[in-house]
Chains A and B, each alone.
Chain A
Amino acid sequence: MDKNINITLKVWRQKGPKEKGAFETYKLNNVSQGSSFLEMLDVLNEQLVNEGKEPVAFDHDCREGICGMCSLYINGHPHGPDSAVTTCQLHMRKFDDGATITVEPWRSAGFPVIRDLMVDRYAYDKIIQAGGFVSVNTGGIPDANAIPIPKKDADLAMDAAACIGCGACAAACKNGSAMLFVSAKVSQLALLPQGKIEAARRAKAMVAKMDELGFGNCTNTRSCEAECPKEVSISNIARLNREYIAAKLQD
């Protein structure tokens, strides 16, 4: 049964991108285990505001695990200790009474801290802008069966498309590599006939942008896959390598 717990929070506080940050320790009593992690942070912020202190800045939006806005590196795990959930889907029942919880922002050169636990993830948008789309001439609605797609390919593409671009992969990676994200975005289109036409150009452009933005080189540690809230597989990374190497050899 859920009960109320008392916890100690060690939260990273940083005033701005150029300021030096440090951990602050806060005590929080009577936290319902039925509340989500973000609701617990809301309670903390209310307490801080009542004490006349600055509330902790953190990213959040849909709070149902699909927008990819929430982040947080909790007790050494992106999106916390639970598997296959985002921070907003993480519940306080995953923590014990008297626990000390360390909350850090994503740490990666590609994701500079804006303030406290908030990081700038615009880098992922830039990678998408470099080629993570299909160019189409708009017209009438095509017939659903006009382009037959094997079930297997449709499933693999859908699994890759589950990526919400939250940045947990690069945050978990000791190399600060964004390969799981880029490979999912390349795969979801390369697997389908509509996306195949631009596949070579897309793989080259997105990898070039990823490298330009300072993300690291993948060494296949599989941390990304283990921490991904959508359980995107590293077989996508193998596909991206294939697509990219083939595209470059064709040049």
Chain B
Amino acid sequence: MWLLNSSIGRKLIMSISGVFLILFLLFHASMNVAAVFSEEAYNAICSFLGANWYAVAATLVLAAGFLIHIIYAIWLTLLNRKARGSDRYAVNVRPKNVEWASQNMFILGLIVVGFLGLHFTQFWYKMMFAELMGHHEVALGSGMVSPQDGAAFIRYYFSNIIVVALYLVWYVALWFHLTHGFWSAIQTIGWSNGIWLKRWQAISNIFATLICLAFAFVTIFFYLKSIL
């Protein structure tokens, strides 16, 4: 199967799973922004996404997308290290026009996945997972809240400056990952040429900035709300 045993096929899987995750991020960021304007609206989305069959099905598809992207990242990195050979260069210089992010996608991906673990224990585990386990109340700080009360989770976690700082670091790593990942995915699919390469790079930068600003805005908004 050429998707598995050719270099371009493997890259295509990496690219399509990446674009899929980018679309998810767009959805997640839009959903978060709703919380700023109306906590009821945000909670309505949370209950809609609770343990309903379609939300669980979509989560499984999403998890598959993540897993494929991560497994292929590890596989490609190992293959590429082997292709580089056992002897490394003594002097390494990053040429002009080569983005730092493009050469550090795996490290950036590791950082993103690491923080994803934190995010899961704070939110997903106590929300969707708790609901799936049949709990109608979960402990959050000193009180008990409904696993569908997403706004309460946001208020609780984003009132802690350390959590806020960690999330902001996460968004920065994500920004670097996206600025390269987006246009690189398009290039791998082949939808690029001399003119469109520059356009896709500009779109990647704008898109990554918008997504990360949306996430950061919600995080900082709720922190300020908690101290004011």
Contact = CB atoms under 8 A, between A and B. Distances in A.
Interface of A: 10, 21, 23, 73, 75-77, 102, 104, 107-110, 113, 172, 174-177, 179, 207-208, 210-211, 214-223, 225-227, 233-235, 237-246, 248
Contacts, number: 144
Interface residues of B, number: 45
Main secondary structure of the interface of A (DSSP, over half): mixed
A109 B84 CA distance: 5
A35 B25 CA distance: 56
Contact of B7 (A216, A223, A225, A239): A216
9 contacts: A23-B90, A215-B7, A217-B11, A217-B83, A219-B80, A221-B99, A222-B102, A238-B187, A244-B8
Contact of B190 (A76, A102, A222, A239): A239
Given A222-B102, A244-B8, A235 B194 contact: yes
A176 B191 contact: no
Interface of B: 2, 5-12, 76, 79-80, 82-99, 102-103, 105, 180, 183-184, 187-194, 197
B6 A211 contact: yes
A217 B187 contact: no
Contacts of B183: 220
Most buried by A among B7, B193, B194: B7
B3 to A, nearest CB: 8
A76 B83 contact: no
B11 to A, nearest CB: 6
A222 B5 CA distance: 24
B7 to A, nearest CB: 4
